[in-house]
Structure 1
Amino acid sequence: MPASRYARRILPHPDTLSQTKGLRWLGNYLAPRPWLWVAHRRRVAMGVAVGLAVGVIPLPTQMVVAAIAAIACRANVAAAVAATWLTNPFTLVPIWSLAIALGRMASGHHGPVATPEMLDIDWSAPLSWGTTLMAWISNLGPPLLIGLPLAGLLLGAIAYLVVYLGWWAVIRGERRRRLRQRARQSTPGSKC
């Protein structure tokens, strides 16, 4: 099954979204703007890139921000929202490590960076957990603040290339398969 047909099958229609509580605004906005929802190679690749770039930065409303950024970039909104799910507690450590490394390179920071050993949480006092975590994050300082947007841009660009080239390869493989199938059917003496 071609990728665009598969994407059309799994994506909800804007009319369905406009009838869903909480997503009504999105469905009403997308209905007259089908280019924001269509499964097109460039738009989906841009949506994934935007979603991943926004998803790297720790925001409480990543999906809403990704949807708004996708609308501004004329990218696929569903792909942008889904791409924010790639950043989760399991991928947080590698992404933040990349962000800190990029931030250190960009800012020229050579001092110590907060390590997990520096995160001294008093587990018997739950009210102190938040302040301890915030103090630890502030010790990360410039490398993290500079590195998160850089990591978002880098991962977004890589995601764009992977999705775009992957989609292109699937389409090319499907065309080759159809051409081989037609060639077999058109040769004399071949059984169908």
Structure 2
Amino acid sequence: MPKKFIQRYLPDHHTIKNQKSLKIFGTLLHDANLWHLNRKSVAGAFAVGLFNAFIPVPFQMWLSAAGAILFRVNLPLAVGLVWITNPFTIPPIFFGCYLLGTFVLGQESQDFNFELSWDFLVESMSTIGPALMTGSAICAVTFSVIGYLTMNVLWRSNVKSNWQKRLEMRKHKQNSQA
């Protein structure tokens, strides 16, 4: 993945360090590795961000920030990737996770009407919760591994392509001078 392409869409690290919600991490945000863009930091950020995107909790961004700090990968990218599950995509993604969980656990899927209430949350943890959590865990691990491997391959192929282009330019320059 081209470094300049990713940098174009990432916010400035000074802006992120000054966010009130990230003040809980204190001086941990001053680690330079959290802001570098290299193969390791980008691939790791994809793994952390995609893993947390599939965990059905309301504080995915904080989990992703903590994971980025723990594994010393690119923080803005890891936090931004949790927005794969946004208000528009959460219903189909987590319903798919639920269906996967029912399949793995050998359960029948249950009909339910989603309600934004504490009672629904408590009740659903005993009925649909195990299947949802199982499916979410499987998807989190699967997509984080796929994201990590894909970014590694894309980064390596981009570096290889750039080396090939430079080699061809040198050959062309040498041939034109001869």
TM-score, with structure 2 as normaliser: 0.79
1:3: Cα distance to partner?
A: 2.3
- 1:161 maps to 149
Task: Give unpaired runs (5+ residues) of structure 2.
Answer: none
Q: Which amino acid aligns with 1:171?
A: V
8 Å Cα contact 1:36/1:76 also seen in 2: yes
Rate the CA distance shift 1:136–1:27 in 2: closer, same or farther, 3 A: closer
Q: Which has the higher contact order (CA 8 A, sep 6+)?
A: 2
Cα distance in 2 for partners of 1:169, 1:86 equals 25
Aligned partner (choices 154, 166, 169) of residue 181 of structure 1 = 169
8 Å Cα contact 2:50/2:144 also seen in 1: yes
Cα distance in 2 for partners of 1:44, 1:59 equals 24
Q: Which amino acid aligns with 1:114?
A: Q
Rate the CA distance shift 1:84–1:185 in 2: closer, same or farther, 3 A: same
Rate the CA distance shift 1:93–1:161 in 2: closer, same or farther, 3 A: farther
Cα distance in 2 for partners of 1:78, 1:21 equals 15
- 1:70 maps to 68
8 Å Cα contact 2:35/2:76 also seen in 1: yes
1:9: Cα distance to partner?
A: 5.8
- 1:124 maps to none
1:7: Cα distance to partner?
A: 4.0
- 2:94 maps to 96
8 Å Cα contact 1:17/1:27 also seen in 2: no
Following TM superposition, where does structure 1 have runs of at least 4 consecutive aligned residues deviating by more than 6 angstroms?
Answer: none
8 Å Cα contact 1:44/1:75 also seen in 2: yes
- 2:45 maps to 47
Secondary structure at the aligned position of 1:188 is classed as helix
Cα distance in 2 for partners of 1:26, 1:100 equals 33
Q: Which amino acid aligns with 1:55?
A: A
Task: Give unpaired runs (5+ residues) of structure 1.
Answer: 122-127
8 Å Cα contact 1:14/1:30 also seen in 2: no
Larger Rg: 1
Matched positions, count: 177
Aligned partner (choices 85, 104, 128) of residue 140 of structure 1 = 128
1:144: Cα distance to partner?
A: 0.8
- 1:29 maps to 28
Cα distance in 2 for partners of 1:15, 1:73 equals 20
1:10: Cα distance to partner?
A: 5.1
Cα distance in 2 for partners of 1:25, 1:179 equals 48
Cα distance in 2 for partners of 1:24, 1:181 equals 48
Identify the structure with the greater helix proportion: 2
